[in-house]
Amino acid sequence: MEGKLRNMTSVYITKADKMLLLFRQGGRVVNDVWTGSAGGHFEECELNDARACVLREMEEELGLKESDVKNLAMRYITLRRTKGEVRQNYYFFAELSDEADAHPVSNEGIARWFSYSELSALEMPYTAKFVIAHYLKEGCMTDEIYGGVADGETVVFTKLPEF
């Protein structure tokens, strides 16, 4: 391992009992699977600011601004070693505001709303599938931030308390 890192962020936008996902097409790393509503790689100036990255990606990919969502919060950070690099993903969740367009169009693929009950059947990137399952079971009922490490069979989550 040469110390290569890949830092990425995703935002999952919800409205009532639905979640907006993106069928990403033409991506460099993630392609032809359902991903967060928007997301991508950090720009150099964002390396210490995951929120700035997710807001930029949300505007670039969906045309949504920070004012179009409420309760935007980083809820998960995952680590996975694959293809000679460590992938660190920062997962944000937010609610679409009542004033925002409920049918955003993405330039990265097909954006579509799914009921929570449909999510487990979708093909997603490895850590994203575990994040969504954990969020629906436990994470949506708290304000905790969770760290998750992929071990090849699952992602093991733990709360990340501030101390």
- Taking only the tens place, the pLDDT of each residue in 79-107 is 999 988 999 999 999 999 999 988 999 98
pLDDT of residue 30: 64
User: In the structure, what pLDDT confidence band is assigned to residue 4 with cuts at 50, 70 and 90?
Assistant: confident
Q: How far apart are CA 150 and CA 103, in angstroms?
A: 33
Q: What is the pLDDT of residues 22-61, one digit of tens each?
A: 998 765 666 678 999 999 899 989 989 999 999 999 999 9
pLDDT of residue 2: 74
Residue 159's H or E segment, with its range, is: strand 155-159
Q: Check pLDDT > 70 for residue 151.
A: yes
Q: Check pLDDT > 80 for residue 160.
A: yes
Q: What is the pLDDT of residues 100-131, one digit of tens each?
A: 988 999 988 999 999 999 999 999 999 999 99
Q: Which residues of 104-138 are buried (b: 16+ CB within 10 A; e: fewer)?
A: bebebbebbbeeeeebeebebbbbbbbbbbbbeee
- Residue 146 Cα distances to 138, 140, 160, angstroms: 11, 12, 5
pLDDT of residue 27: 59
Q: What pTM does this model have? A: 0.94
Q: How far apart are CA 141 and CA 47, in angstroms?
A: 29
Mean pLDDT of 67-73: 97
φ and ψ at residue 137, rounded to 5 degrees: -80, -40
Q: Check pLDDT > 80 for residue 20.
A: yes
φ and ψ at residue 40, rounded to 5 degrees: 165, -160
